[in-house]
Structure 1
Amino acid sequence: MSEMPPEEKRTPNEAWFESRWWWRVKMWLQWTSWLQYLPNLVVVLLLLVLAGIGALIGCWPIVLVDLPLVLAALLFLNLIFDVVTVRYGYHPEEPLPASLAHLDAFEIMRARVSCRSFQKRLMSEEHRQMVLSLAEQNSRPENCLSPSPIRFEYVDNPLVVWPAVGTREFLVAIAPREYHEMAVVDVGRSLQKVVIEATRQGLATCWIGPGADHKSIIKHLGARFDPEKDHIICVCAFGYRSRYIPLAIRLILKTQRHRLDVQDLFYADTGFAKPLNTNARPYRAFGRCYEVCQWSPSSYNAQPTRAVVLAENAKIQRVDFCAATHSRYYAMVALGIWLANWECGCEALGKVGRFEQLAPEMRGKEPFPDLPRYVISWVPEEIP
């Protein structure tokens, strides 16, 4: 089963629940990639039961018998179609997606969505080399915020992941076994920069955290992974988007479109009592930077990141990025993704700045609460 980061270990109740046989069956279905087809089958069986009850009581035959049977037949046909086309890949060859190079930085970041179904073809050599080159470049020490090294290992085998289907190529994000908060932030920031450029080139991507089976990943990494020194933070799938998606995953995607309002994520004070008016001066100078952070991916779309934009004398003094939960891994990866999107947006607007961890005495008189807790600041620099 998937190895959890140390602080993400289960509570006693969760441990009890996950020791039950039905949970083990669910996990077996998940790791064998059959779980995404199960909801169709369950609904079909429930409809057949309803039709059987309707036939027995002989009441409202159109509503209780005919309609359930028609719906059951349609869902069963859809299930067969999904298994044939997605599970076993029997469908016409799909075209390669078009490049999005004509879009600006903000449109590219907004265009990027998690891909849940990939084409069976591998990336072209040009695209693969681009991804590998960017991964190596963005993980260099001089491009990271922490002195603790991170790296991305390429795997071209169908790892055991959930819920994406058809995944064949991955970057595995690895940080030191000994926990370093900013190294985990670096994983999110560095990998998101690769994702943004991949999106520009028409590639599909999918961040996978708790839905990845670490035993499967470690097996494929082989000698490239040292369990005494390395820790897998997350993986990201790369490839080409497929139009063939299981019905259950389509429905899941529709439930994941929601994001908190910008005013629930950005604040004008360290007490998080004053939602930021992004249309007021001087905050509006950062335009869509707030929006691309709002739509950043996070584990389960939990959005565990907040920011405080501090201004004085009609000028932005700094932006403090904070974690809204005590999670040391998933929240830090999400915060790193925010940093990458904020940085990319600022570059598009010609805003120059740097990330810096400020000591408490340098942050002003008002302290931060326990949650959201301060992590790092973006400080604007004067352009000579």
Structure 2
Amino acid sequence: MTDSLCWRIKTHLQWTGWLQYIPNVTAVLLSFLLACLGGLVAGQVLFCPLALLSCLLLLILVFDLCTVKCGLRPWEPSPARCDDLDAFDLMRKRRSCRSFQARSLSTADLGELMECVQHETDPSRLLGSCPIRLDYVAAPLTVWPVVGGHEFLVAIAPREYSREAVIDVGRCLQKAVLHATRMGLATCWIGPGADHESVMKHLGDRFNPSNDHIICICAVGYSSNYIPASIRLIQRVQRNRMPLSALFFAGPCLQEPLAVHLHPWSQYGRCYEVCQWSPSSFNGQPIRCVGTASGKRFDFYTATQSRFYAPVALGIWLANWETGCAALGIRGRFQMLTQQERAIKGVRWLSDDSPRYDVSWLADDK
């Protein structure tokens, strides 16, 4: 009963937008308690600095509540476009935005973004055969930890599970995210932090529970500089990434790191880097890649058994990989190969718990 009550309280605070302020409140109360105890033990020697710290933390909390929760903030300008950046710098520039301005996208920005969405979700551009949608919703959906988000792209796949469709969701939505970044817009991928009941409510007749399945959503809009202190801390922690040696390998056993700085793999340059910095749920980085000796084929694996978040993360990797290859002038295509076509023999350790192969990238012959 206690666990159930705690969970309900946590969920209520999360969906009402108060959970991100609990760490601030806890820090204020704890520092004030320590100041009182320090005053009793050592007098003003401990009380004064701890009381000062408590007041500082209280000011930060009040500032966050006023500017973020209550929206009492100065006007913020629209960000500039990033048309001068090359593909790699653009992908590295993109960050998950946790706080958005209250104003909506301009008609021109929304039109350009949705034109990109329609282009990327065209059936002829998908890897799989199942259609997917990226529906635009202008409503304050119940999400966490994003604050101020009121415009979203909702990724919808068929109700009947198709792994290829989930991969296509990640790939197509990431292409739209990259275009939004070039436009100067802010974005934030949201998976488990979205209340699907809220999403379905605002989709209305566009969502059919019998045929549709919500994979994830992406907040989009103009970024705000006013972010709760606790979320700023989360962002700093999530900036860590695994080294390339733990992501790219020279064989299907995923033991020997790929020598990405040696020929022929070095020709792919920063493609490795932009995949390394691809977003993923909880920053889990569940994707692995095997480069063949010829440097003309790369096999992509998912390292977890997740049916949704890992394939979405893979789709994001694929979008960044092909965008990078296109920028380098390296033509190629994605194709799902059999184990025989990949010439994998005698790899006995492959099991249900092992990394799962999904798709390969094949470079065109020059």
Q: Deviations over 1:29-69 (max 9, x none)?
A: 1100011111111111111211222233x325322x21221
Equivalent of 2:321 in 318, 342, 345: 342
Aligned to 2:338: 359
Letter aligned with residue 258 of structure 1: N
Equivalent of 1:82 in 45, 50, 64: 64
Q: In 2, Cα distance between the equivalents of 1:365 and 1:355?
A: 18
Aligned to 1:5: none
Q: In 2, Cα distance between the equivalents of 1:317 and 1:111?
A: 28
Letter aligned with residue 304 of structure 2: T
Q: How does 1:1-384 map to 2 (within 5 A)?
A: 20-56=4-40, 58-59=41-42, 61-63=44-46, 65-312=47-294, 316-366=295-345, 367=347, 369-370=350-351, 371-383=354-366
Identity percentage of aligned residues? 52
Letter aligned with residue 110 of structure 1: R
Aligned to 1:8: none
Gaps of 5+ in 2: none
Instruction: Say which SS state the counterpart of residue 293 (structure 2) adopts.
Output: strand
Letter aligned with residue 369 of structure 1: L
Q: In 2, Cα distance between the equivalents of 1:100 and 1:382?
A: 33
Q: In 2, Cα distance between the equivalents of 1:70 and 1:210?
A: 38
Letter aligned with residue 344 of structure 1: T
Letter aligned with residue 379 of structure 1: L
Q: Deviations over 1:162-208 (max 9, x none)?
A: 11111010000000111000000000000000001110111000000
Alpha-carbon distance, 1:21 to partner: 1.2
Normalising by the residue count of structure 1, what TM-score does the alignment of the two structures yield?
Answer: 0.92
Q: In 2, Cα distance between the equivalents of 1:210 and 1:130?
A: 28
Question: What's the Cα RMSD here?
Answer: 1.3
Q: In 1, Cα distance between the equivalents of 2:43 and 2:355?
A: 56
Which deviates the most, 118-127 or 337-346? 118-127
Alpha-carbon distance, 1:341 to partner: 0.1
Matched-pair contact (CA < 8 Å) for 2:94–2:181 = yes
Instruction: Say which SS state the counterpart of residue 340 (structure 2) adopts.
Output: helix
Gaps of 5+ in 1: 1-15
Letter aligned with residue 334 of structure 1: A
Which deviates the most, 223-232 or 129-138? 129-138
Instruction: Say which SS state the counterpart of residue 134 (structure 2) adopts.
Output: strand
Number of equivalences? 362
